[in-house]
Chain A
Amino acid sequence: MDPLIELLRNNSNRSPKEIALALGVAESEITARIAAAEADGTILGYSAVVDRLKAGDRRVTALIEVRISPERDGGFDRLARRISKFDQVRDCFLMSGGYDLAVIVEGKDLLDVATFVSEKLSTLGGVLSTATRFELKAYKENGFLANGGGDEERLPVAP
């Protein structure tokens, strides 16, 4: 993978100047490459990874396993894209195994998610079944451990 993209995936908060120094190229080139990656959709967006519990976020998250029937032209794509467009859907992946789509949905409470599933998702033509599993607690998100990594300590000066 492009080392610039790799670097931004780990921490998108670094300044173009600092990235330029780390990769040994001009700052203007970094700015241009980021702009190009944003324009061509390589970079989809930026967000902070948040400990939702600490942030006081009481919304609920559910993983919904969805089985759908593929269409003659385009397979799962048309329906998957349609499902992805709902604001409640945070992630949507086509999966191997016992179901087709893993849809991660956020709602303000159980009822909100349940309503979305029963009224929006399961009523879509082509959706064969859904199974909703609510998230209870996050231990690791996007590569970051909740509550930090632990209490590893280094001596401040060592040979």
Chain B
Amino acid sequence: MEYDNKISNIIRDLPRSGIRDFFELVIGRTDVISLGVGEPDKPTPWPIREAVIRSLEKGQTSYTSNLGLEALRIGISEYVTKHFRTTYDPKTEILVTVGVSEALDIAFRAVLNPGDEVIYHEPCYVSYSPSIKMAYGVPVVVQTREENEFALMAEDVEKAITPRTKVIALNFPTNPTGGIMPHEELAKIAALAVKHDLLVFTDEIYSELLYDGRQHKSIVEFPGMRERTILLHGFSKAFAMTGWRLGYACAPAPLREAMMKIHQYCMLCAPIMSQMAGIEALKMGEAAYEDMRQSYEQRRNLIVSRLNGMGLHCFNPGGAFYVFPEIRSTGLTSKEFAIQLLEKKSVAVVPGSAFSSAGEGFVRCCYATAPELIAKAMDLMEEFVNEVRAK
């Protein structure tokens, strides 16, 4: 059978995630030190796991409300009030989703008409452009640059705005760069959104993981923003709950209602076990991640100074758990660098090009890995860089 014309044009033309290709090179090898992951190196804190075991023993295995358990939505409302200084009504303004990935997908589907433009920044997490295309939108890329430590510049955003622009999508701190937003730049982008009457989706998944005593500020906190913002957050990164697939969206009631319609037909509800885990995680709050955050900060210091020490220029990222060193000085492309490093030294990093063409010339190293392994990986990477340069 000729399958090409059986598959939708949009999906046929969608590239596979570049991470997927690289994953297949690494899988099955047991000798690899991996800086290639996108998740914490510790399992979910035990009190959270224990609470779920107890809920299973009690037989809590049913569907929940499409919106998610009320107790969880109340917990989310309190948590969001504390962390983002913005309050949402658990009954009408919060939706529990299967990870932020689902929340992002249904947010785009809820607001985009075919041809509507979405401004987003690259390098970025792999799903932005495909999610926009799958919702029949047009992705409009704004590059973030190393010279700005991968913050998004308002003047670049302004240039990208057209009469078809409907949404600006933000994700700070950013995967894969670790870049964060200076508050004054965020204020300017907020003003642009108000001026042009745009929606803003803000993916806050790394917002707890900030370093050097920084306080997180979300774009939703700026004047005129609450009414036009969909705040997307989840439990994966701070609470080390990637595999639970639990996220949420906070938005004004009409937007939440539109998202809920898609969610109820395609997902019904997030798994109840994961929701029980979420309730416990929010009870723990900061205690669940503060030690890890401090430990990440120390690991970041270690890896940044080692990378710069071996001549791979690397800015000191303010958040998330990634560093994004520039590898152009080796004369290799980011894919060549990652593949040769894996083959010769058994260290896995992800080519920056997996996160869009803007990531070319960089590799992503995740430092949510034991400090001893980071040190070992840096020794091996330094050997590799010296060998490449000696050629």
Of the stretches A17-25, A80-88, A108-116, A119-127, the one at the interface is A17-25
The reply to whether the CB of B264 lies closer than 8 angstroms to some CB of chain A is no
**A21 cross-chain contacts in B, Cβ below 8 A:** 301-302, 305-306
Interface string of A134-159 (1 = CB under 8 A from B): 00000000000000011010111111
Given A14-B371, A18-B371, are A156 and B37 also a contact pair (CB < 8 Å)?
yes
Hey, which chain B residues are within 8 Å of A154, CB to CB? 34, 37, 39, 41
B19 at the interface (CB under 8 A from A): yes
CB neighbours (8 Å) of B22 from chain A are 157
Cβ of A158 and Cβ of B37 under 8 Å apart? yes
Q: Is the CB–CB distance between A156 and B26 below 8 Å?
A: yes
Report B274-309 CB contacts with A as 1/0, cut-off 8 Å.
000000000000000000001000110110011000
| A157 adjacent to B371 (CB under 8 Å) | no
Q: How large is the interface on A (under 10, 10 to 19, 20 to 34, 35 or more residues)?
A: 10 to 19
Give CA–CA (A158, B175) in the complex, Å.
11
- What's the Cα separation between A155 and B39 when bound, in Å? 9
Residues on the B chain within 8 Å of A131, using CB: none
Taking a contact as CB atoms under 8 Å apart, the answer to whether B39 and A158 are in contact is: yes
Interface pair B37/A18, CB less than 8 Å apart = no
How many B residues, CB 8 Å from partner? 32
CB contact between B36 and one of A3, A11, A157 (< 8 Å): that residue = A157
Task: Report if A7 contacts B (CB, 8 A).
Answer: yes
B390 within 8 A of A: no
Q: Is residue B375 within 8 Å, beta carbon to beta carbon, of the partner chain? A: yes
Question: Does A156 contact B36, Cβ atoms closer than 8 Å?
Answer: yes
Which residue from chain A places its CB closest to the CB of B316 in the assembled complex?
A24
User: Is there contact, CB below 8 Å, between A157 and B37?
Assistant: yes
Is B58 engaged at the interface, CB distance under 8 Å to the other chain? no
Q: Which of B35-52 contact A (CB under 8 A)?
A: 36-39, 41, 43
- Please measure, in the bound complex, the distance between the C-alpha atom of A7 and the C-alpha atom of B37, giving whole angstroms: 24
A159 interface neighbour in B19, B27, B32, B302, Cβ under 8 Å = B19
Q: Is the CB of A159 within 8 A of B125?
A: yes
CA distance A150 to B49 in the complex (A): 13
Residue of B nearest to A17 (CB): B375
| B23 A155 Cβ-Cβ under 8 A | yes
Tell me how far the C-beta of B79 lies from the nearest C-beta in chain A, rounded to whole angstroms: 25
A154 to B243, CA, bound (A): 10
Question: Which residue from B32, B34, B41, B302 sits with its C-beta under 8 Å from A18?
Answer: B302
- Contact indicator A23/B36 (Cβ below 8 Å): no
User: Could you give, for residues 114-139 of chain B, a 1 whenever the CB lies within 8 Å of some chain A CB and a 0 otherwise?
Assistant: 00000000000111000000000000
Asked if A157 contacts B375 (CB within 8 A), the reply is no
Of A152, A155, A157, which contacts B43 at CB under 8 A? A152
Q: Does B159 contact A (CB under 8 A)?
A: no
Q: Smallest CB–CB gap between B332 and chain A, Å?
A: 19
Return 17 A-B CB contacts under 8 Å, by A number: A21-B302, A22-B298, A24-B301, A24-B305, A149-B43, A154-B34, A154-B37, A154-B39, A154-B41, A155-B27, A156-B32, A156-B37, A157-B19, A157-B22, A158-B36, A159-B17, A159-B127
Known pairs A150-B43, A158-B23 / 15 extra A-B pairs, C-beta < 8 Å: A18-B375, A21-B305, A21-B306, A22-B299, A22-B302, A155-B23, A156-B36, A156-B37, A157-B19, A157-B22, A157-B26, A158-B19, A158-B38, A158-B39, A159-B127
